[in-house]
Copies of this chain bind each other. A is one copy, B any other.
């Protein structure tokens, strides 16, 4: 017997109910049948994203959704500031550059997070900037920014705010309307408990004005004006991955049944338990401002990330993530998104202890699960 357990920070575990929902016979997508799913998906996404803004569904990855936003927003006279504290932050700057959009790419050390005050300084130094793009939860470094106060800075200075919420939406508190996030971007394969293939954007009225008046927008498939025109009719401009939309409605139902506040608490508990366990067994937390949706731990001296990940997979069927780019061998990551709860986290911590013990790491066997148990008990 070998059980398989998906703990990567995306794709994340999907409920069997959702997988089975998608295996049911399906109709054509230009039908009232499918429009019903689109309508339900958009409404439920608004609830999960805490927004009254339009929600757009794109067939593609989170990157596709982000590109649609970046390209859509930036017409004549606009300038973007990207805050790049990891692989995904860098990607958004690359996209702007590739499209010839004026962009200032601000690098932040990986594992650190920009503060609202620092952002304010950057914006004051360059009044030409019209929009800011930040990563709410930087998956590559397991780090979060203070999006709420970043939103205040952007609002005070009249800048549009685009936020990559790919690993925050549905996992951590996120209130685009209240916080002034003009475009919140996410994807299907993270906290929304679906396989990969869909990207989502909530778009504010202010952002739509920029998108509507953008005359030099090249994108065709990733064109938000086209998407909006169809979305009004609960439709899509191009053939959608409608099987995934159907699964989405089921997954959102499950999430809304649990309730957003409870989900946020559950995810925060899993993350806090993992951090406490890591510190208790000699695996320091990498990030200075840890995200709750994913935790990055450093391996102990003498044991490689590769060894830990391989052992976890081979002995216990646990799929974890290593680091990306310069962090490749420096951290390993566990996700707290999707169809996982506190006891799954406990199981993963138990497995990490077993792996480290067998590899000769010196620590008090049981200290990790004990630390986790205390966190879970306190918060439940």
Contact = CB atoms under 8 A, between A and B. Distances in A.
A244 B197 contact: yes
B11 A220 contact: no
A10 interface: yes
Interface stretch (A15-23, A75-83, A148-156): A15-23
Contact of A11 (B11, B28, B187, B219): B28
Contacts of A238: 60-61, 63-64
A35 interface: no
Question: Contact size class for A?
Answer: 35 or more
A293 interface: no
Interface of A: 4, 6, 8, 10-11, 14, 19-20, 22-29, 31, 59-64, 67, 94-95, 98-100, 187, 189, 195-197, 217-223, 238-244, 319, 321
Interface-centre pick from A19, A60, A242 (highest chain B CB count, 10 A): A60
Main SS class of interface, A:
loop
Nearest to A62: B239
11 contacts: A6-B26, A6-B28, A20-B23, A22-B243, A59-B241, A61-B240, A62-B239, A64-B238, A67-B221, A196-B242, A197-B240
Given A23-B19, A23-B23, A59 B62 contact: no
Nearest to A20: B23
A92 to B, nearest CB: 10
Contacts of A100: 218
A239 B189 CA distance: 9
Contacts of A221: 60-61, 63-64, 67, 222
Contacts of A189: 239
One complex includes copies of this chain to the number of 2
B59 A196 contact: yes
Q: Which 9 A-B pairs have the closest CB atoms?
A: A197-B241, A23-B23, A195-B243, A61-B239, A19-B23, A61-B238, A64-B221, A196-B239, A8-B28
A273 B10 CA distance: 48
Contacts of A217: 98
A228 B177 CA distance: 40
A296 B20 CA distance: 35
Given A11-B239, A196-B29, A196-B239, A220 B59 contact: no
Contact of A59 (B23, B24, B59, B99): B59
Contacts of A31: 319
Contacts of A26: 6, 11, 14, 195
A64 B63 CA distance: 14
Given A59-B197, A98-B223, 15 more contacts: A6-B28, A11-B26, A19-B23, A20-B23, A28-B319, A59-B60, A59-B196, A60-B238, A61-B240, A63-B238, A67-B220, A99-B218, A196-B243, A197-B241, A197-B244
Given A23-B19, A242-B11, A319-B27, A218 B61 contact: no
Contacts of A242: 11, 195-196
A22 B25 contact: no
B239 A241 contact: no
A55 to B, nearest CB: 19
A100 B99 CA distance: 13
A14 B196 CA distance: 20
Contact of A63 (B19, B63, B239): B239
Contacts of A244: 197, 241
Contact of A98 (B94, B95, B218): B218
